[in-house]
Structure 1
């Protein structure tokens, strides 16, 4: 590598975003702003419901609350930058802020993979080892898994993004994206990035496919256990506890694999931006609805909370 970040002649980057007509940009601003508010509100609601209802103080919902918190952070890393870019003509971002955004996006993306794998493991133990579930999925064990995941990915993400920040950026400073992602930054650098590309996307392959393989193995064992249940109604009831998680897994991994696990040179960044909108904005927006609409326990807890609030005025009257 020919230079270091603090020696680079580029002091700031310009995020190109979506170069459309002003009227259409205002329309997109409204759509993405509503999506951001709904995403944050929906995930905060899930966290609040889980904390308020003692029946939901179980490992499954402990990991779900971690997942909801991660989704709030995930959209907050990218969407505000997108919204600013839709309001101003030149969306500037300093090099430090750009690499920080890239780091947190990479970090939270890794967290999402591992949290989905943990939630699959919880369902595997709950269905395949029901009688031993409480002794295996103890609060200490769940906290250890969650803290280990957050801390491990937090520290593990420092090295690749630190190497990225040490590249030389001495030419054009326009990033053809609405946030600082790895691919456009690598393309923009005037350093030799061939080894770094191999490292970044090799790491992405390892994270995505190791977690996906773990989830697939878990669900294969879950399906085998369910097929041993003689009653069709019993099978449906057991498998319904996995429906929300499985739906999120399919949507998330489908988008991520299509985005990252493919030859980058044969695709345009315009296509990448549209795919990024799907998995970084639309997917977090859908998750609260998926877990609320497909999970009867969350629905019941929400109904109890609404009914309790309706009773408060009459109590004081």
Structure 2
């Protein structure tokens, strides 16, 4: 189980305080997959770092299978596997097999057991064919699979994944999602962050929408659909900042928008209603989280409509 209680994190940069997380409380039950969804800088990675004991919270607490990240760090680390890829995640000149043997040895396995475990994991993630290939020659997809294999060395009950399919081609991403589903069948509890809404629809049992460090909505996909309500698809020949985030298609002469009925009063320009539809996760995201980039200080102007 994964739980956070009023988790807050404030970073001090020079003389400025930045609240990366603001009283975040979430719960992912045993054997379920939770997903964090939000724009870049919303706090997703900070939350995962706190859960993995890499960063301490400013206030509040978090628990992995009942163990506190602020007082029982060693127990927390024994219960988690962290899936992330950075330039220094593995030794570039070592093969996939040798990398896993090395990291297995650090977990206290004998050389024989480490080799056996490494081969088992390479087979599980589909890398057996490339086990003797140096890591430096691995594609991004292969690197992600090896990162997952390393996270599974001790067979932890909880897995934390920071954008596990980011940068993968469609086939590699599909294979990785299939592996995540296999892990769920093994009763693993998983919390992942992702920008790919179709991926979230496919995998998540519970979704947490995070905006500027706060959880603005959470629930199953069906629950979030009910919270959003029906969506109106409309056509207009004008546009303004209030409704720009609802645009799904545009030409030189017209814009097509999908707007929740509860927000239709924001349309102050003339429009023609086309059809009433059930909300998609795209609509839910835009309703609760969607912002225009310039609104969050990124200096550009486009809607946060995220698609795979």
TM normalised by structure 2 equals: 0.24
TM normalised by structure 1 equals: 0.24
